[in-house]
Amino acid sequence: MAVIVQKFGGTSVGTIDRIKSVAERVARARDAGDQVVVVASAMSGETNRLLSLGRELTMRPDGRELDALVATGEQVSVALLAIALGARGVPARSFLAHQVRLRTDSGFTKARIKGIDADVLLSALNEGVVPVVAGFQGVDDRGNTTTLGRGGSDTTAVAIAAALGHGVACEIYTDVEGVYTADPNVCKNARKVGRISYEEMLELASLGAKVLQIRSVELAMKYAVPVHVRSSFTEAPGTWVVGEDESLESVVVAGVTSDRSEAKVTIRMMPDEPGRAAGLFEALADARISVDMIIQNPSAHASPGRPGVTDMTFTLAKGDLEHAQSIAARLCSGLQVDVDHDVVKVSIVGLGMRSHAGVAARMFRLLADEGINIQAISTSEIKISCLIHAKYGELAVRSLHDGFGLGD
């Protein structure tokens, strides 16, 4: 008899009918002999609704109170789900974070998990009761309610699987059928990936693929929790996110993504001398602004004894742009600061890149063949990203997807 964690996202518990189908699915898993721990998100739209209520009062609600507010969404869905299971003849009990002692730090709205009391869950299971745990929420050392950041129920589910013991799998039920080689709305021939490694999934998640919260993948990798991303509307198997040695498809490129959430900033003719980049990026970091791609061009106009000048380009979240511009204006007064919103970052990800030469060259050629100019490039061991004009985003994704043979 296996213990499994089944996590249901907002759309899966979005209506009373859907809650009934979730109860049905849990009952089936139980009939098949599994011991199921359920984790649920708030009903779809609820977290946003609660957040906007708070923001109607003030643009910057207090973090502690915001968490107390949004955590109620999950309280509703777990109670409804436990009622639905009971009505279906399956003994079930809802649990909030403090009841399973899901302890976090006090970083309101983005708290980190410190530990979970698996005993509470195990004794419910031993009594034959299905525990239904509220996702997204935690409790800090002083008993305050915290939340784990948007999409945090994924992380709750993985953390519970890890706490329940080695090999406990975590099924993430969502409104897509799994992880695809590219966004099926952009590439009609995108394929569902059967297995993918934690490393690849982490890259894809950080590049804007919204299937799993990044922290849930980090946690799954750390504790070797097998994660099965699948649809709550079908029985079809989805995508397994597993360790590198188990991710059979050691393809060169596993997937193509695009991300329109960043903007590009260029500071022209910055003096090319020690400490300039440090000063700028320290100030951005102090303002908690994360920078993604950074390019510094070769120094121009240098002569003996006199530093040259250089253009410094970087990308960051569009939401941080205004703040970053004011910092750049303060630190680089008198210099020209250019901003470009019309950019998209297209990326290819795959473990096989580590051992194959020429992947970057192939990517650049495929873009060139479409007449697409590359404005910035960044790489990791298993990822190559190119920043291009936003209007070419979909074309680039399609040509990379086909060019690397990912389609059907």
Which residues are at the interface with ligand ASP (CB under 6 A)? 9-10, 41-42, 47, 73, 135-136, 150-154
Q: Min. distance of Cβ 21 from ligand ASP in angstroms? A: 18
Which does residue 136 bind out of ligand ASP, Mg ion, none, counting CB within 5 to 8 angstroms by kind? ligand ASP
Which does residue 231 bind out of ligand ASP, Mg ion, none, counting CB within 5 to 8 angstroms by kind? none
d(CA 353, CA 207): 17
d(CA 401, CA 408): 10
The DSSP bridge pattern shows strands 35-40 and 113-115 to be: unpaired
Nearer to ligand ASP, 73 or 255 (CB): 73
Site for Mg ion, rule CB under 5 A: 9, 151
Q: Min. distance of Cβ 42 from ligand ASP in angstroms? A: 4
Q: Min. distance of Cβ 9 from ligand ASP in angstroms? A: 6
Q: Min. distance of Cβ 118 from Mg ion in angstroms? A: 23
Q: Min. distance of Cβ 161 from ligand ASP in angstroms? A: 15
Nearest in space to 283 (alpha carbons), one of 275, 273, 295, 271: 275
Nearer to ligand ASP, 9 or 255 (CB): 9
Q: Min. distance of Cβ 153 from ligand ASP in angstroms? A: 3
Angle between helix 321-331 and helix 276-286 axes, rounded to 10 deg: 140
Nearer to ligand ASP, 77 or 347 (CB): 77
Q: Min. distance of Cβ 151 from ligand ASP in angstroms? A: 5
Q: Min. distance of Cβ 148 from ligand ASP in angstroms? A: 8
Nearer to ligand ASP, 155 or 266 (CB): 155
Burial of 110 (0-12, 13-18, 19+ CB in 10 A): middle
Nearest in space to 403 (alpha carbons), one of 187, 207, 154, 232: 187
3-state secondary structure of 67: helix
Nearest in space to 138 (alpha carbons), one of 71, 192, 83: 71
Q: Virtual CA dihedral for 96, 100, 101, 103, nearest 10 degrees?
A: -70
Nearer to ligand ASP, 135 or 238 (CB): 135
Which does residue 403 bind out of ligand ASP, Mg ion, none, counting CB within 5 to 8 angstroms by kind? none
Which does residue 131 bind out of ligand ASP, Mg ion, none, counting CB within 5 to 8 angstroms by kind? none
Nearer to ligand ASP, 14 or 151 (CB): 151
The torsion angles phi and psi of 373, rounded to 5 degrees, stand at: -85, 140
Nearest in space to 202 (alpha carbons), one of 399, 383, 385: 383
Which does residue 393 bind out of ligand ASP, Mg ion, none, counting CB within 5 to 8 angstroms by kind? none
Nearer to Mg ion, 48 or 250 (CB): 48
Bridge partners of residue 169, in order along the sequence: 4
d(CA 27, CA 188): 35
Nearer to Mg ion, 151 or 226 (CB): 151
Which does residue 42 bind out of Mg ion, ligand ASP, none, counting CB within 5 to 8 angstroms by kind? ligand ASP
DSSP codes, 262-297: EEEEEEEEEE-STTHHHHHHHHHHHTTPPEEEEEEP
Which does residue 347 bind out of ligand ASP, Mg ion, none, counting CB within 5 to 8 angstroms by kind? none
